[in-house]
């Protein structure tokens, strides 16, 4: 979910003009990293072993600088992250790992459905592996990044500490360009702060131990202010013409919201939540939610309200709930991953080159959608929405 579209092709020559790094620059930078690491308690043997043969990958700098070309509407974002496939797989994981999840719940006081929701959104329950070795990704970012070089240097040193302690073997440490790794996508410094050994083998292993990974996520949510036994919030209904306050952080007791005419989405009276903020992710004409500190704990995991809403709604679905009832303010719904894949297959059958039909929407798929939209006399958005999907069907 953190993958972002690559830079437009035009930017690549610019990057080269701006001075692509010489190998000597990298060697010099690594020498500097080495002396810094040794000063931080990393042994020369650990450093040299982990950096042996590492070459910078400038794709990482591109990703670091890329701005999303399209603003993803929240209904698209939720449609892919909380689809029937994710719900079914999540429920299967709840059954399969019921015993360890029960122990995690009693040790950390964090709802198992939220823990499994984070697992599903972060790595599709461990199915999405890392593209880069952490030493390669983090040394590239520390040497050639256009910003936050010191941050990435710190993450590189944290990576080496993980290996030096014998927690995880270096070849297992693969992750995103920014260094997030394992089942629940911790960055190395977060790992050092919050990862726990829950299977009792003495190592904190977020790559190969599901108990360690899930307990570490529960620990993260707990340390982020999770209130045991409370809900993240729920969907509500605003009175007609509501003009009162809103915002996740503007928390008020339920009586205050009730006094403004807000009810639960089914029309019943508000009850059963601690202080909550009124979240309106698509404005006053879309779904509305009262959200508690447990919603903020999910927000702490990845600072986006859309992310926290995906975790929260998925956790409800995993518990057997029905999801969001109020329609989003659009007549062009978002597509699930299965529908995106089918959309690509239909485009291929019509002769478009969209690469592999994997449900990931890249530049080729967007261009093909635009072409189809033009042929159908629709506005050319390039967006994989329900209208173009239904038209192709």
Considering the rule CB under 5 A, would residue 212 count as an interface residue with Ca ion? yes
Stretch touching Ca ion by CB under 5 A, among 212-220, 257-265, 318-326, 358-366: 212-220
What is the footprint of Ca ion within residues 41-70 (CB under 5 A)? none
Q: Is the Cβ of residue 168 or residue 361 nearer to Ca ion in the bound state? A: 168
With CB under 5 A as the contact rule, which of the stretches 145-153, 177-185, 188-196, 201-209 interacts with Ca ion?
Answer: 201-209
Choose between 203 and 319: whose C-beta lies nearer to Ca ion: 203
Among all residues, whose Cβ is closest to Ca ion?
197
Number of residues that bind Ca ion (CB under 5 A): 7
Of the candidates 75, 104, 113, the residue with the CA atom closest to the CA atom of residue 314:
113
Shortest separation between residue 203's beta carbon and Ca ion, angstroms = 5
Instruction: Closer to Ca ion by CB, 58 or 107: give it.
Output: 107
Q: Which of 25, 105, 124, 199 binds Ca ion (CB under 5 A)?
A: 199
Q: Which of residues 170 and 384 has its CB atom nearest to Ca ion in the complex?
A: 170
Piece of 43-51, 72-80, 210-218, 340-348 that binds Ca ion (CB under 5 A):
210-218
Give the nearest distance from C-beta 220 to Ca ion in angstroms: 16
8-16, 75-83, 196-204, 329-337 -> range binding Ca ion (CB under 5 A): 196-204
Task: Pick one of 48, 84, 150, 201: the residue that binds Ca ion (CB under 5 A).
Answer: 201
Q: Candidates 190-198, 217-225, 322-330, 360-368: pick the segment binding Ca ion (CB under 5 A).
A: 190-198
Rounded to whole angstroms, the Cα distance separating 317 from 321 reads 5
Residue number, 64 or 210, with CB nearest to Ca ion: 210
Q: Does 203 bind Ca ion (CB under 5 A)?
A: yes
Span from 10-18, 64-72, 116-124, 211-219 in contact with Ca ion (CB under 5 A):
211-219
Residue whose CB is less far from Ca ion, 209 or 302: 209
C-alpha to C-alpha distance for 65 and 178, rounded to whole angstroms: 12
Piece of the chain touching Ca ion by CB under 5 A; list 37-45, 128-136, 154-162, 192-200? 192-200
Least distance to Ca ion, CB of residue 195, Å: 9
What is the rounded CA–CA span in Å between residue 168 and residue 103?
23
CB-nearer residue toward Ca ion: 184 or 294: 184
Q: How far is the CB of 211 from Ca ion (least distance, A)?
A: 7
Q: In residues, how long is the chain? A: 393
Tokens encoding 222: 């707990």
Strand 263-264 versus strand 288-291 pairing type: unpaired
Cβ at position 162, least distance to Ca ion in Å = 13
Nearest distance, CB of residue 167 and Ca ion, angstroms = 8
Least distance (Å) from Ca ion to the CB of residue 318? 25
For Ca ion, the binding residues (CB under 5 A) are: 197, 199, 201, 203, 205, 209, 212
């Amino acid at each position: 979910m953190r993958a972002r579209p690559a830079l437009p092709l035009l930017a690549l020559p610019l990057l080269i003009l701006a001075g692509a790094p010489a190998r000597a620059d990298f060697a010099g930078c690594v020498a500097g990293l080495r002396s810094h690491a040794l000063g931080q308690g990393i042994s020369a043997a650990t450093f040299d072993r982990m950096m042996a043969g590492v070459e910078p990958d400038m794709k990482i700098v591109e990703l670091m600088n890329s701005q999303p070309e399209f603003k993803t509407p929240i209904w698209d974002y939720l449609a892919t992250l909380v689809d029937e496939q994710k719900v079914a797989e999540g429920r299967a994981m709840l059954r399969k790992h019921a015993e360890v999840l029960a122990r995690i719940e009693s040790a950390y006081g964090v709802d198992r459905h939220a823990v499994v929701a984070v697992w599903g959104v972060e790595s599709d329950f461990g199915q999405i592996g890392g593209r880069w070795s952490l030493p390669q990704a983090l040394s590239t970012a520390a040497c050639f990044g256009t910003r936050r070089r010191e941050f990435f240097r710190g993450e590189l040193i944290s990576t080496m500490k993980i290996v030096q302690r014998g927690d995880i073997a270096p070849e297992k440490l693969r992750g995103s360009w920014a260094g997030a790794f394992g089942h629940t996508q911790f960055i190395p410094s977060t790992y050092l702060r919050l990862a726990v050994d829950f299977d009792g083998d003495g190592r904190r292993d977020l790559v190969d131990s599901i108990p360690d990974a899930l307990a570490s996520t529960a620990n993260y949510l707990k340390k982020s202010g999770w209130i045991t036994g409370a809900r993240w919030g729920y969907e509500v209904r605003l009175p007609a013409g509501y003009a009162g306050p809103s915002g996740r952080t503007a928390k008020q007791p339920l009586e205050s919201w009730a006094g403004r005419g807000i009810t639960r989405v089914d029309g019943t009276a508000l009850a059963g939540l601690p202080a909550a903020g009124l979240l309106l992710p698509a404005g006053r004409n879309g779904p509305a939610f009262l959200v508690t500190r447990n919603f903020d704990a999910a927000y702490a995991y990845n600072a986006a309200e859309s992310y926290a809403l995906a975790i929260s709604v998925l956790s409800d679905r995993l518990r057997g709930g029905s999801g969001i009832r109020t329609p989003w303010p659009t007549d062009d719904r978002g597509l699930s991953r299965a529908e995106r894949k089918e959309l690509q297959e239909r485009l291929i059958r019509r002769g478009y080159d969209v690469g592999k039909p994997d449900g990931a929407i890249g530049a080729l798929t967007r261009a093909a959608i635009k072409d189809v939209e033009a042929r159908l006399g629709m506005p050319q958005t390039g967006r994989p929405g329900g209208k173009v999907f239904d038209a192709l069907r």
